Amino acid sequence: MNSETLIERKLLDNLGVKKVKVTNNSYLHKHHPQSPNSGNSHFKITVFDQKFYQLPKLESHKKIYDCLSQEMKTFIHALEIEIVNA
């Protein structure tokens, strides 16, 4: 299972949201000094869910970071998060 699928499955299974799209943007950061250059470090997460959209931004982001805490310790260097009312 690739990193995008792992992240997507984990968010869908644990957050109760309708749809999640995970995009690996690591290639955009490969020349940054802090980038681990692993090819699996920078991701954009788009959550499509009306109830999740209604949460305060800090709360929705905290839920995502809590859900992905193990991945944040091991391979995720940066997350871009977008919540869409769907």
Q: What structural domains and CATH numbers belong to the chain?
A: 3-84 (3.30.300.90)
- Rg (alpha carbons) of the chain, rounded to whole number: 13
Note the pLDDT of residue 42: 86
Provide the percentage of residues in the chain whose pLDDT is more than 70.
84
- What is the distance between the alpha carbons of residues 62 and 21, in angstroms, rounded to a whole number? 18
| Residues 68/31, Cβ–Cβ less than 8 Å | no
- pTM score of the predicted model: 0.85
Number of neighbours of residue 86 by Cβ within 10 angstroms: 13
When pLDDT is cut at 50, 70 and 90, the band that residue 12 belongs to is very high
Task: State whether the Cα torsion 44-17-5-66 is positive or negative.
Answer: positive
* Measured distance between the N- and C-terminal CA atoms of the chain, rounded to whole angstroms: 27
**What average pLDDT score do residues 36-62 get?**
88
Predicted confidence (pLDDT) per residue in 56-83, tens digit: 999 999 999 999 999 999 888 889 999 9
Map residue 10 onto helix, strand or coil. helix
